[in-house]
Structure 1
Amino acid sequence: MKEKRRNKWLHVRLNQQEFDKIQQQFHATTCRKLSDFTRRKLLGQLLVGNYRNASLDQITEELAQLKAELSAAGNNFNQAVKKLHMLSKIKEFEHWLIGYELDRRTLLRSVEKAAGLIAEVAEKW
C-alpha cells in the first residue's frame, strides 16, 4: 500500500540547545533522515534505538578495506594468468613469474589478515 504524498509543511524554530538535543536523539535512532525522525516523534510512532558496538564498527571498517585489497589482488592475479597464456618467450615467462610471486605474497598476507579479523569477530560473538 502506497503512502500518500506529503505536500504540507510544518516550520518550527529552535534555539541551538533545542536543536542539539533533537540532533542527539536523532543520531541515537535508526532513522536515516531528520524529517523522518521528527515526523515519527511528533506523531508518537515507534522509534527504534540504535545500539553501536564501537569495536565491531572498527572491525567492519577493516574488513571493508581488506575486501578492497583482496579484490585488487584478485584482479592482479587474473591479469597475470591471462598474460601467462599470451607469453611465447622464456625471458617473458621469467618476468611474469617474478611478478606473480609478488602478487601471490600480497594475496596471502591479505588472506591471513582476513582470517585474523574473522577469528576476532567470532570470539566477540
Structure 2
Amino acid sequence: MEEENENRSKWIKIRLKPSEEELLNKRYKKSTFQNLSEFGRAMILGDPVTVIHRDKSMDDVLEELALLRRELNFVGNNLNQAVKNINSAHGFPDTRLWMNLLTIINGKLEPSIIQIKERMNKYADLWSQKLRAGKA
C-alpha cells in the first residue's frame, strides 16, 4: 500500500491569552522542534516531544572550560610554530638558536599548562560531585 503525500491544507485556529501564548512559546523554545507548527501538531496529536534541559548552574564552569580550551589552542599554535621553525632550520647553524628559543617558550608555557590542568581537574571534581549528587 502506497503512502499518500498529502499537503497540510486544513487550518485550526485557536485563541490564547497573552500568558498562555508566552507559556506555549517558552515550551516550544525548550523543545527540539524547528518551528511552532511542528511543535503544536506534536502536542495536539500526542506525539513525543523532546525537551532540552540545561543545567544553568554549570554555565560558569562551561564558560571557564571554553576559555581554557582557547588558551590551550594558543599554546598549541605557539608550540607548532616553534617546532616548524626548528624543522625548517635542521642542519643549519640556526638550529641551536631555535632549540634555545623552544626551551624558553616551553619554560613560559609550562606554568600555563600546569594552571590549565589544575583548573580542569577542579572542574572535573565539581562535575563528578554534581553527578554523584544527582544519582543520590
TM-score normalised per structure 2: 0.64
User: Which letter does structure 2 place at the counterpart of 1:74?
Assistant: G
The residue number in structure 2 matching 1:108 is 114
Partner of 2:134: none
Q: Which residue matches 1:45?
A: 47
Relative contact order, higher structure (CA 8 A, sep 6+): 1
Instruction: State the shift of 1:23 in Å.
Output: 0.8
Question: Counterpart of 2:47 in 1: which secondary structure?
Answer: coil
Q: Where does structure 1 lack aligned partners over 5 or more consecutive residues?
A: none
Q: Which residue of 1 aligns with 2:128?
A: 122
Give the residue type in structure 1 aligned to 2:50.
V
Is there any run of 5+ residues in structure 2 with no aligned partner, and where? Answer: 132-136
Contact 1:70 1:111 (C-alpha < 8 Å) held by counterparts: no
Does the 8 Å contact 1:76/1:103 carry over to 2? no
The residue correspondences of 1:44-83 to structure 2 (distance < 5 A) are: 44-83=46-85
- SS across alignment from 1:48: coil
Report the equivalent of 1:35.
Answer: 37
Distance 2:67 2:122 in 1: 14
Which amino acid in 1 is paired with 2:65? L
Provide the aligned length of Structure 1 versus Structure 2.
Answer: 123
TM-score (norm 1): 0.68
- In structure 2, distance between residues paired with 1:40 and 1:120: 38
RMSD: 3.2
How far apart in 2 are the matches of 1:79 and 1:117?
30
2:96 counterpart of 1:97: no
> Match of 2:105, SS?
helix
- The answer as to whether partners of 2:85 and 2:98 remain within 8 angstroms in 1 is no
Question: 1:36 and 1:57, CA in 2 relative to 1: closer, same or farther beyond 3 A?
Answer: farther
